[in-house]
Amino acid sequence: DQQVKQNSPSLSVQEGRISILNCDYTNSMFDYFLWYKKYPAEGPTFLISISSIKDKNEDGRFTVFLNKSAKHLSLHIVPSQPGDSAVYFCAARGGSEKLVFGKGTKLTVNP
C-alpha cells in the first residue's frame, strides 16, 4: 500500500513557464514533507521541505504548498529552466526518522 503517491509519471513544460508537481499521501501521522531532485546516475538531492504546521514554503524559484485536509502537496517551479529536467521525488516522514518516498515524476523542460 503506497503511502505517498505521485500519480503523474512524467511532465513536460516549456522553458520559462511554471512546473507543478503533485503528491498525495494517506498517512495522517506524516508531519514533515520533502522534495528531492534526481539526475541519472546520481543520488537524490534535497530541494525543499515543509513542516505540517505550515502551508507554504518558498526558496527562490521553488515553492511547496501543503494542504493537510486534502493530504496533498505540490511543488511549483517558476520559471522553469532546462537544467530543472530531472526526476522529482516527494517524501514524507512522521513518527520515525525514515523517509517514505513516492515513485517520482520525470520533469522535462523544453528550451
Binding flag, residue 65, another protein (CB under 8 A): no
Q: How far is the CB of 47 from another protein (least distance, A)?
A: 10
Cα–Cα dist 27/14, whole Å: 34
Q: Which of 51, 67, 81, 110 binds another protein (CB under 8 A)?
A: 51
Cα–Cα dist 4/82, whole Å: 27
**Of 14-22, 60-68, 76-84, 88-96: span binding another protein (CB under 8 A):** 88-96
Q: Which of 13, 19, 36, 109 binds another protein (CB under 8 A)?
A: 36
Contact 24, 71 (CB under 8 A): yes
86 strand-pairing partners: 107
The CA distances from residue 60 to 80, 82, 87, in Å, are 12, 16, 19
Residues in contact with another protein by CB under 8 A are 4, 32, 34, 36, 41-46, 49, 51, 89, 91, 93, 96-104
